[in-house]
Amino acid sequence: MAKKQGISYSADAGLIRGERAMRQAGGFVDAAKEFGEGFDRSSREMAKGLAARENKQAKIDAKVANSIRAMKGNVDVTGLTAADQKAVNTFLIEQKDIYAQAANLAATLKPGTPEYTAQVDIMNNVNNSFVSLKENLNSYELGQTQYTDSSKDFSKGNNIDNAEFKADVFTGKKSFKVGGGGNLLFSSPNGEVDFKDINMPFKKNYEAALELDNMYKAVYSSGGFDASQRNSFETKLRAMAASNPDAFKSVAADGLNSYADYKPSLVYVDDPAKQNEFIEEFIQNTLDGAATAAANGKQAKINNQKESARVNDYMTYANQIRNNGGGNPRIPMRNVTNQYLKPIGNNKYIVVDQGGTKILAFNGKELSIDEALKLSGYSNY
């Protein structure tokens, strides 16, 4: 039976040999010390890396902050309705978020690269939309003021459907939404309409009415409307229509001229596709009115000639009375000169204006020349 080996407490020869060999090679390596020194070195490197990263992040944050400060997103919405304020604020929040994301990304990119330029373009577009929004809101506010101040002057010739739409827009009854470019968009039966494309209703055109009135008066005074005069009249009308067709709509719808009946042309005034029909009908109505004016002018000339002849005859008769001792029939009255009187009886007299425009009884009753001559006993009348 083999003898059981006991535990030996003597030095391990292998370890001793290893120790000797290590010392001969250059000295003893303290593992704990080496680990500690390595840990310190790693900590310093880590701290340096973290500091560099924090410095880089600080530079990025500074770039972002500068970009955010350059963002032109301060928009005053206090004068808007609640619905419009919500539309503006929603747009601002969305666009500011887009801007911030682009600013953050641009801060990490090298300036001049396509990627960097693309992010800068995004930020510029957002800024431009903010500037455009401010301008559009200012125009909208100004338009509301102008609409309120001018509403009584707007012509009834405006398209009735458009007039209702514009009234809702400019009085704030119709809300808008904000488009990507900062434009104010209003819903209409024909789709969304940009506020920039909404014109103020046109006003009553008194200038066109006055020009037409003068044309009619010229025809009335001449008393003639032959083919040449008609062509000249029509040429002027077509020139006016080409310059401003809305002027004719005002004359017709607002009743600014009484020489012609423009009701037939009004059936076309609200249909944009029938504008040519409206112009043609208006011109025909005007030409008919001019022909009537010429005929009336001609008849007025004839009547004036007859009236003048009657007055001249009466002047002769009045002079005969004066020459025969019937008193002086010539008297001053107000600011009218060359007036004559003739005794009727009971101390009443007839006053005759030399121009033949008016004959009054001396007691204030207005008379026609025939009535006056009959009362005077002038037998030829």
Out of 1-15, 148-162, 176-190, 302-316, which region has the weakest mean confidence (pLDDT)?
1-15
How far apart are alpha carbons 155 and 244 in whole angstroms? 14
How far apart are alpha carbons 250 and 236 in whole angstroms? 17
Same domain, 247 and 335: no
- Average pLDDT value over all residues in the chain: 76
Question: pTM surpassing 0.85?
Answer: no
Tally of structural domains, the chain: 3
Instruction: Say if 381 falls within a structural domain.
Output: no
Same domain, 103 and 151: yes
Same domain, 136 and 154: yes
Same domain, 93 and 175: yes
Same domain, 188 and 212: no
pLDDT digits (tens, 9 = 90+) for 21-61: 444 444 445 555 555 566 566 677 766 766 665 665 555 44
Work out the angle between the directed axes of helices 114-150 and 82-107 (0-180°, nearest 10).
160
Domain that includes residue 187, residue range? 82-197
Per-residue buried b or exposed e for 300-326, using 16+ beta carbons within 10 Å of the residue's own CB: eeeeeeebeebbeebbebbeebeeeee
Question: Tokens 């090298």, residue?
Answer: 110
More confident residue, 6 or 95: 95
How far apart are alpha carbons 317 and 379 in whole angstroms? 11
